[in-house]
Structure 1
Amino acid sequence: MYLALREMRFSKGRYILIGVIMLLVGFLVMFVTGLAQGLAYDNAASVQNMSATHFILEQGAEHRLTRSELSPQKLDEVRETAGAGQAEPLGVKMTTVVQDGEPGKVDVTLLAVDTHGWLMPRLTEGSGLPGTGQVVVDESLMEQGVKLGSRLVDQASGSEWIVAGFVQNESFSHTPVILMNMSTWALLESQSRSQAAGSPSVTDGSAFNAIAIKAVDSEAESIQAQVPGTEVLTKSQAVSAIPGYKEEQGSLLMMIVFLFVISAFVLAVFFYVMTIQKTSQYGVLKAMGARTAYLAGSAAAQVLILSAVSLVVSIVLVKGFEAMLPASMPFRLHLPVLLLTCLAFILMSLAGSLFSVWKIARINALEAIGRAAA
């Protein structure tokens, strides 16, 4: 450590340049990671916030909540196996609504739940649970002028609902969520089918898309075996099946991985060139009795110091940017993800220094001194 600090103090400009490059790469890695986490949460916040462990869908729905259709009889069968208090119906439908008297249209996702059950989120505004014809909406709709008592009209079916409350962080497929009780959902389904006369239906208007359950994996597999025509998904599988989720996260993950790889290569090139330039000095130190492990440890210590300092400054900058970002831009960088990102960045930086360590280990003291004398 002594040699590493002395050398960094002697060549300040060189190490400041490397530190600035690591700072920029570290900032970009953290920002893209926060953006990826924010987009993932905005895409599936409602499903992730549910206390359910598994979802039961119609067989052949390809893990898509919106493609499944189950009857109340299926719910009764599941409750007989899982327990009455461990299974709740869930309706999911994407649509467009307009606020009565306002020109704008908003794409939303309708979620139908038992408002007295454990799928119902906590209200942040409004009193009481929504009744028939009433809905609870995500707070993001306030930006569209929606408030308590506003009348929302479904563009597809013509159904009208009164806003009775607000909830927080409820979104699905990057659209705000509107929650309603099962009776309002049944009316909506009936109106939708009456407008599409002749379309096939499995129920009289009480169909829903999924059954949310609380169960361990073995119990979930047992339910699937005992209730024919269904398939069981874990919560993570249901999230991954949301349209565009895997593609979006895959692209961002590829960007993050490439940033890590680029940072390792840039650091490797810088330190390798510096090591070559100092070959004669390393040769003299080896001739004086310095061990290879000590010299290699000194090079690794320099990388570790630069990585730590650049990460600290990057965190400050990212948090500053996060405070200035608009509410409409999803960004989440919680402590566990932040720590994991920092650890990965340090490990990749140390990996990039291995070329320098390899070069130091191969330096022959006599040859290095001879080249320097020549």
Structure 2
Amino acid sequence: MKMGWRELIRMKQRFTLMAIVTTLIVLLILMISGLADGLAYDNGAVVRNLPVEHVALSQDAEGQLTRSFLEQTDQPAGTEALGVQSMVLEKQNGTKDDVTVFASPVDTVYGPKELATLKPGQVLVDTQYAKQSGTAVGDTITDFRTKATFEIVGTVSDGRYSHAPVLWTTLETWKAWQDKMKTNYVSAFISQDPIKTDLATYTQQQIVEQVPGYAAEQNSFQMMRIALVLIGSLILTAFFYILTMQKMKQLGILKAIGIRTRTIGQGLVLQVFLLTTVSFAISLLLIWTIGQLLPGDLPFRFEWTTSFGYGGLIVLTAMLGGLIPLRALKKLEPADAMGGMTG
């Protein structure tokens, strides 16, 4: 152990360069993870923020809120109706945006409490969308298909659905809007408690995972993260393998004077552990700082659990890779290492 520590101190430049490369690798992995977590949260944030655990949809909806069409007369006891539908919103300046409308009763238990103050035809818009689009309280918006108009009377911070801004309104306004499309349905029945019904039931997390595009997006990011971990591990393994091979003559001398292979190996493993751990700590500090500085509209989310998970994985794989040169060290004959000296 002492030999490994002393070598780290005496060969500062070499190990500092390796630490920088390791830090950049880990930083890239954490950046990708932060972006993946941010997009995952953004994709179904409005559902995550609903204080419910159970959702009932029609049998053929496949877990997607916008594919579920239910009669409100079939509402199970102890549940609350929820309407969800996409809308092409036409603003006063003529521009169009894709949004998702969420509707709950005026006396909602789970939706925004601001719904209690809404009158027919009034809506609440996502705070982030209001800032980005220049939409303000008092503006009038129009559904492009039905030409139904709505007045914006406030904002909510309940997030987005399928990366689209969310409009919240009451079921009364929802019904009037549906009448213009000659339909009359709600999308889901939600509850904090298990729902007794013949409808298809899902947990909140299952509904989030069925948001359009969620699975494909996350699977792509997961492949990228795994690839980066493997590439990073291979790079670190190559670093320490080459470094060990370059020191074979010195290591042979150590074996010749009676130092055991196990002792030398412990020093090498200590170097790998310290280098990767310090690099991970620096990367963690950098990624946390970056997360604080990034604008709020960028889908980046720093998660301690995810960061420690991938950081621990890169440390573990690097240490396993660092064991590979020990096989060559074990077979090393001192005389061969010192230039073919014989007794």
TM category (shorter chain) comes to: over 0.9
Contact kept in structure 1, 2:45 and 2:160, CA below 8 Å: yes
Please state how far the C-alpha of 1:169 moved relative to its aligned partner. Answer: 4.2
* Equivalence for 2:188: 210
Letter in 1 for 2:82: L
Q: What is the correspondence of 1:346-365 to structure 2 with a 5 Å cutoff?
A: 346-365=315-334
Amino acid at match of 2:127: E
Q: 1:281 to 1:372 in 2, by over 3 A?
A: farther
Query: Match of 2:44?
Result: 44
The alignment partner of 1:171 has SS state of coil
Shift of 1:338: 2.4
Contact persistence 2:106–2:116 (CA under 8 A)? no
Which among 81, 90, 94 is matched to residue 98 of structure 1? 90
Given that residues 272 and 355 in structure 1 are in contact (C-alpha distance below 8 angstroms), is that contact kept between their aligned partners in structure 2?
A: yes
Task: Give the 3 Å change call, closer, same or farther, for CA 366–62 of structure 1 in structure 2.
Answer: same
| Counterpart for residue 198 of structure 1 | none
Give structure 1 stretches of 5+ with no counterpart.
194-200
Task: Give the 3 Å change call, closer, same or farther, for CA 306–169 of structure 1 in structure 2.
Answer: farther
Bigger shift: 34-43 or 341-350?
341-350
Question: How many residue pairs are counted as aligned between the two chains?
Answer: 342
C-alpha spacing 1:55/1:371, structure 2 compared with 1 (3 Å): farther
CA separation of 1:334/1:246 partners in 2, compared to 1, >3 Å: closer, same or farther?
same
Matching of residues 216-365 of structure 1 within 5 Å: 219-220=194-195, 223=196, 227-228=197-198, 230-365=199-334
Asked if the contact 1:53–1:214 (Cα under 8 Å) also holds between the matched residues in 2, the reply is yes
Q: What's the offset of the Cα at 1:160?
A: 1.4
- In 1, the alpha carbon distance for the partners of 2:27 and 2:320 equals 19
Q: Distance in 2 between matches of 1:361 and 1:167?
A: 65
| Distance in 2, Cα, partners of 1:192 & 1:135 | 18
Q: Deviations over 1:205-260 (max 9, x none)?
A: 2x111111223xxx45xx2xxx33x2111222211111111111111111111110
Return the letter of the residue paired with 1:35: L
Residues 61 and 119 (structure 1 numbering): CA distance in 2 closer, same or farther, change over 3 Å? same
Among 169, 176, 192, which residue is 1:180 paired with? 169
Where does residue 118 of structure 2 map in the other structure? Answer: 130
For 2:145 and 2:102, locate their aligned partners in 1 and report how far apart those are by CA, in whole Å.
16
Measured after TM superposition, the shift of residue 292 of structure 1 is 2.9
Aligned to 2:61, what secondary structure does the other structure show? coil
Unaligned runs of 5+ in 2: none
- Residue 145 (structure 1) aligns with: 134
> Normalising by structure 2, what TM-score?
0.92
Give the partner amino acid of 1:208: V
What is the identity, as a one-letter code, of the residue corresponding to 1:305? Answer: L
Which letter does structure 2 place at the counterpart of 1:332?
A: R
**Is contact 2:335-2:342 (8 Å) kept?**
no
SS of the aligned residue for 2:166 comes to strand
Q: Aligned-pair distance for 1:365?
A: 4.1
CA displacement at 1:346 relative to structure 2? 1.6
**Matched residues, percent identical?**
30
Q: Which residue of 1 aligns with 2:98?
A: 107
Structure 1 window deviating more from structure 2 (164-173 vs 37-46): it is: 164-173
Deviation at 1:171, TM superposition (A): 0.3
Is residue 57–residue 210 contact of structure 1 (8 Å, CA) maintained in 2? yes
